Amino acid sequence: MVDVGEVLEITLRSIWVSGLATLISSTWSIPIAYLLSKPSRLRNVLASVAESVVGVPTVLVGLLLYFLLSRRGPLGVLELLYTPYAIVVGQAVLITPLLVATSYRILRHARQSFEETAVALGASPTQAMIISLAEAAPGVVSSIIMGFSRAIGELGVALMVGGNIRGLTRVLTTAIALETAMGNFELAVALGIILVAISVFVMITLKMLRGFYEA
């Protein structure tokens, strides 16, 4: 039998953890992407670095964070290891390259198409920046949604720094892995369907925003 209460708990925790991680990552990823969109010699190099580390294995990110958050690590005093906040930090770090790489292209196009034109027409730098950011907003939101989809579907970081503790740090991906290993395929399938449904909903929302952006 599938425990509906436990499934709901795991689902809500997954959405909360990944949503918070995405929000936190956006606070530094979007400004970094905007700075990279400005003409400079290092712009293309740094943008390429961000794009190249998007595919870094999640278990590697999880291992590095484990060392940082463990009691003997430099951040061990925070006592975040094996808490939901450790997963939040891990997912925020994990999706940062993705948010930077995707937002960079959108903001660069907006700067070239709108900000430079606005300055040429007499707008102040601040006004021109606001105009370009407003034009890039739908694309940036799409990038953020893509980051959320990446966060909620990852396993390595959540497992290594969260510990998959029932009632505390268990999320959809870690629960699926555990229940499959234990032979509880009914619960694993139920959790998998929920994860797929969330991913499909995210992708539909993403396509709708892209359609609005391209219109």
- What residue ranges do the domains of the chain occupy? 4-103+139-214
Residue pLDDT, tens place only, 3-35: 788 899 999 999 999 999 999 999 999 999 888
* Regions of the chain where pLDDT drops below 50: none
Query: Which residue do the tokens 């399938």 mark?
Result: 189
Q: SS3 of 83, please?
A: coil
Burial 153-164 (b: 16+ CB within 10 A, else e): bbbbbbbbbbbb
CATH topology of domain 4-103+139-214: MetI-like fold (1.10.3720)
- Distances from the Cα of 200 to the Cα of 65, 155, 180, 195, angstroms: 29, 18, 22, 9
Query: Which residue do the tokens 């229940």 mark?
Result: 179
Look at the alpha carbons of 176, 168, 198, 63 in this order and tell me if their dihedral is positive or negative: negative
Predicted local confidence at residue 215, as pLDDT: 57
What is the pTM (predicted TM-score) of this model?
A: 0.88
CA angle 157, 161, 163 (to 5 degrees): 105
**CA 114, CA 120: separation in Å to the nearest integer?**
10
Predicted local confidence at residue 205, as pLDDT: 81
Predicted local confidence at residue 1, as pLDDT: 62
Predicted local confidence at residue 105, as pLDDT: 85
Query: Which residue do the tokens 């994990």 mark?
Result: 94
